[in-house]
Amino acid sequence: MKGIGVYIHIPFCRRKCPYCDFYSVGYSDEKADRYTEKVCSAVRYFSESIGRNADTLYFGGGTPGIMGAERLCRMVGEVRENFGFSENVEITVEVNPEKEDIDFEKMRKNGINRISIGLQSADDRELKILGRLHNVRQAEQCIERAKNAGFENISLDLMTATPLQTMESLERSIEFCAEKEVQHISAYILKIEQGTPYYPMRENLGICGEEEQAEMYLLTVEKLKEYGYGQYEISNFCRRGFESRHNLKYWHDEEYIGIGVSAHSFVNGERFYFARSFEDFYDLKTVSDGTGGSEEEFIMLALRLSEGLQEKRFQERFGKSIPEIYRKNAVRFAKHGFLAIDSDGIRLTPKGFLLSNYIISEILG
């Protein structure tokens, strides 16, 4: 039986970034201790009904690194004991570079084998306006400490189209990532969401227009390719063989269990989630989000990947070929270089990824 992905949401931050729309609150040791206990209880509860090994485990946030190695390793141990780990399990922890006492050695010894570092930029001015608590030097030190602890799978987050950013500064940030010889880079275009501190000041942030944002995205794709990072998803790039296996579960429409405040799950064809409420999570009270795994959902997620909607994978999932109507709807976009269609399936190009929401909705009709 195929393993399941386990996602654990850590909802604590030292300070919330002005652009962030993810759920997080302020940190205290007392809150972190209680949350760890509740996560471990939830792991035991869900493992009984799921009965499958975990082949990926991902700590996202918030700022998971803020919990410290002791708590993180305890949660890893709980998943290991109750779900069991598949061979070559991938275990990822997100960290921010400003915390200098992260015990990478302890994390590595307890099975954590992938680190995702929230760099965002290699320019101190850009980091400051983004509300980040670290500087470039601290980011360098964080990467080195992770490497020295034995981590051979390190990812860096990068943001594009941010305040003050120019094509030149973006290129320098990309060069910084490549020089550090990390295995994976996630590069996201800044989106200013309603409800964030950035939203009411969005007109005065000096963010470039859509045309320049597109140029920055295409520059990112081009430069990362030159440095040996292949694009495998709209915002994700890696050295060969270092794709995020956990995130591929989402894009392949495979099942995963989400544990923690605001975490989402897809198990046994059903989608459900915990509300943004500590009380609901502590009571294991979930909210139904309907069924999952439909043809349309599968296609929508697959087209986020560079491999695209594959004929072989579609047949394995649904026992039939990709419906001809989808190929027909895609033809007009192929004529303008937004995607490619062949016997293997349908794949968006980097140019097509810029309009992915519109193109995918048009393909689905």
Residue-level pLDDT at 360: 97
Helices (H) and strands (E) counted in the chain, each on its own, are 14, 17
Residues 33 and 173 in one domain: yes
**40: in domain:** yes
- Say what percent of the chain tops pLDDT 70: 100
| Position 270 pLDDT exceeds 90 | yes
Residues 89 and 154 in one domain: yes
Residues 36 and 167 in one domain: yes
**61: in domain:** yes
Reported confidence tier of residue 24, pLDDT bands at 50, 70, 90: confident
Q: Which domain holds residue 40?
A: 4-250
pLDDT in tens, 56-104: 999 999 999 999 999 999 999 999 999 999 999 999 999 999 876 799 9
Tally of domains within the chain: 2
Residues 119 and 15 in one domain: yes
Mean pLDDT of 169-178: 98
Give the residue among 118, 209, 222, 246 at the shortest CA–CA distance from 170: 222
Q: What are the φ/ψ torsions at residue 256 (nearest 5 degrees)?
A: -155, 155
Residues 129 and 211 in one domain: yes
Identity of the residue numbered 24: S
The span from the CA of 298 to the CA of 192, in Å, is 27
The span from the CA of 20 to the CA of 47, in Å, is 31
Residue-level pLDDT at 205: 85
The span from the CA of 46 to the CA of 25, in Å, is 25
Mean pLDDT of 41-59: 96
Residue-level pLDDT at 15: 87
**85: in domain:** yes
Torsion, Cα of 246, 251, 254, 256 (10° steps): 50
**63: in domain:** yes
Residues 34 and 141 in one domain: yes
- Say what percent of the chain tops pLDDT 90: 89
- Which of 223, 250, 277 is the C-terminal boundary of a domain? 250
Task: Say whether 193 sits in a helix, a strand or coil.
Answer: coil
Residues 82 and 227 in one domain: yes
Torsion, Cα of 240, 245, 249, 251 (10° steps): -30
**299: in domain:** no
Do 37 and 31 touch, CB atoms closer than 8 A? no
Across the chain, what does the average pLDDT equal?
95
- Which of 182, 215, 250 is the C-terminal boundary of a domain? 250
**53: in domain:** yes
**119: in domain:** yes
The span from the CA of 209 to the CA of 74, in Å, is 46
Whether the upstream peptide bond of residue 62 has omega within 30° of 0, thus cis, is yes
28: buried, middle or exposed (CB in 10 Å: 19+, 13-18, 0-12)? Answer: exposed
Residues 237 and 340 in one domain: no
pLDDT in tens, 271-284: 999 999 999 999 99
Q: Which helix (H) or strand (E) holds 140?
A: helix 136-148
Q: Which helix (H) or strand (E) holds 54?
A: strand 54-61
**293: in domain:** no
pLDDT in tens, 203-233: 888 888 889 999 999 999 999 999 999 999 9
Count other Cβ atoms within 10 Å, centred on residue 196: 17
Q: What CATH number should be reported for the domain holding residue 62?
A: 3.20.20.70
Residues 221 and 324 in one domain: no
Residues 240 and 108 in one domain: yes
Ordered DSSP codes for 230-244: EEEETTEEESTT---
Mean pLDDT of 100-114: 93
pLDDT in tens, 145-154: 999 999 999 9
Reported confidence tier of residue 1, pLDDT bands at 50, 70, 90: confident
The span from the CA of 250 to the CA of 350, in Å, is 20
Residue-level pLDDT at 100: 67
- Which of 226, 250, 274 is the C-terminal boundary of a domain? 250
